[in-house]
Amino acid sequence: MEVSRDALLTDSAVNDRNSTKDIMADEHVPKPRDYHFHLDPKNARNWHTAGIHVSIFFHAMSLFFPEGEKMFMHAVRLHKKQIPDSNVLLKNQVTGFICQEMYHSREHRVYNESITKIWKIIPKLEAIVAWICTNISKYVPRRTQLAITVALEHWTAILAQIIIGDQRVFANTEPNFHLLWKWHALEETEHKAVAFDVWTTVYGTGFLAYVHRCLILILATTVFWTLVWGFFIAIIIEDGSWKNLVEYGKLLSFQWISPGVFRQVTPIYLDWFIKYHFHPWDHNNRDKLGEMAALSKIINQIS
């Protein structure tokens, strides 16, 4: 049964969306784009030219976005009232951020629903993510909730930087999966500093704030990638491709050699610790946001 996209939008997120109409003229405010992607489950197993395991690894990451993005929205929304009224730009950026994440959550929920038709374990894995995110939002102190959001937004931003900066990442891949990941990466780039700026506005840039964000990034990195790899293994076991040694080689090559996504993100990741006054826009790739117009045209043509 097809998922109703409208039913996947929370009331609070819809209210934020409705308030964005008057603030989109500012080029520095993230612009929510209500796009739909048509992902055929028949292509899900081998949509990436680098092979089955690379295709499934992207699926494993997708499982975190529906609930993860909701958790991010919640954490940032908790701090919106602490942003000074004089900082109109950041308040508007927060609204744009929340609306973009709302659509990311929705489209990845539809994405995950489509791959459930191939792998029956998907709902069980999603339930694990939902349990973790719900309990973080319910029981973790709000400061740490924002620190977790900022840390994981660092990961999405640096992965997005490689995705949109290296054409080899999605060369000759299935168009619909490619478009979804490219759209997501461009919007993650567009709002990559918003949660961080909320953090520095509310909690400052002093030593304790630096230590807190560094410790949380270490923790978030450990938990997130342990789960991603665990989910990946669970899916390939059900898939039967866990026996395919060639696919492991292709995955490791994709991650560390060519294009070497993890190899490329490592120095950017480490800047978080090395630079005491780190800011996401220290790695300025705003020029890539110009690709959104052409991408939007393609998405609208196939929608």
Domain assignment present for 202? yes
Residue 28, in any domain of the structure:
no
For residue 51, is it left (φ>0), alpha (ψ between -120 and 50) or beta? left
Please give the pLDDT value at position 1.
Answer: 45
In a domain, 31, yes or no: no
Cβ distance 17 to 102 under 8 Å?
yes
Q: What is the mean pLDDT of residues 258-282?
A: 98
Structure token pair of residue 23: 């603030």
pLDDT score for 6: 60
Average pLDDT over residues 160-170: 98
* For residues 33-37, average pLDDT: 96
Q: What are phi and psi of 22, to 5 degrees?
A: -95, 0
**What does the alpha-carbon distance between residue 146 and residue 149 come to, in Å, rounded to a whole number?**
5
Q: Is the pLDDT of residue 57 over 90?
A: yes
Task: Report yes or no on 269 lying in a domain.
Answer: yes
Instruction: Look at residues 273, 71, 104, 274 and name the one whose alpha carbon lies nearest to residue 189.
Output: 104
Q: Residue 261: what pLDDT?
A: 99
Has residue 199 got a pLDDT over 70?
yes
Query: Which tops the pLDDT comparison, 140 or 21?
Result: 140
In a domain, 66, yes or no: yes
Of the two residues 198 and 300, the one the predictor is more confident about is 198
The answer to whether position 19 is within a domain reads: no
pLDDT at site 7: 57
State the pLDDT at residue 302: 81
- Give the pLDDT band of residue 41 (cuts 50, 70, 90): very high
Instruction: Report how many domains make up the chain.
Output: 1
Whether 36 is in a domain gets the answer no
Asked if residue 153 has pLDDT above 90, the reply is yes
**What pLDDT digit, counting tens, does each position of 95-117 carry?**
999 999 999 999 999 999 999 99
**Mapped to the 3 state alphabet, what secondary structure does the chain carry?**
CCCCCHHHCCHHHHHHHHCCCCCCCCCCCCCCCCCCCCCCHHHHCCCCCCCHHHHHHHHHHHCCHHHHHHHHHHHHHHHHHHCCCCCHHHHHHHHHHHHHHHHHHHHHHHHHHHHCCCCCCHHHHHHHHHHHHHHHHHHCCHHHHHHHHHHHHHHHHHHHHHHHHCHHHHCCCCHHHHHHHHHHHHHHHHCCCHHHHHHHHHHCCCHHHHHHHHHHHHHHHHHHHHHHHHHHHHHHHHHCHHHCHHHHHHHHHHHHCCCCHHHHHHHHHHHHHHCCCCCHHHCCCHHHHHHHHHHHHHHHHHC
pLDDT digits (tens, 9 = 90+) for 278-299: 999 999 999 999 999 999 999 9
Reported confidence tier of residue 64, pLDDT bands at 50, 70, 90? very high
Q: Is the pLDDT of residue 264 over 70?
A: yes
Three-state secondary structure call for residue 277: coil
* pLDDT of res. 25: 47
pLDDT of residue 239: 98
Average pLDDT along the chain: 94
Please check whether residue 10 lies inside any domain of the structure: no
pLDDT average, residue stretch 262-274? 98
pLDDT (0 to 100) of residue 111: 98
Lowest mean pLDDT among 19-23, 119-123, 174-178: 19-23
User: 258 is in which domain, residue-wise?
Assistant: 50-302
Overall residue count recorded for the chain in this entry:
303
Per-residue pLDDT, 297 = 94
Residue-level pLDDT at 219: 99
Asked whether the predicted pLDDT for residue 229 surpasses 70, the reply is yes
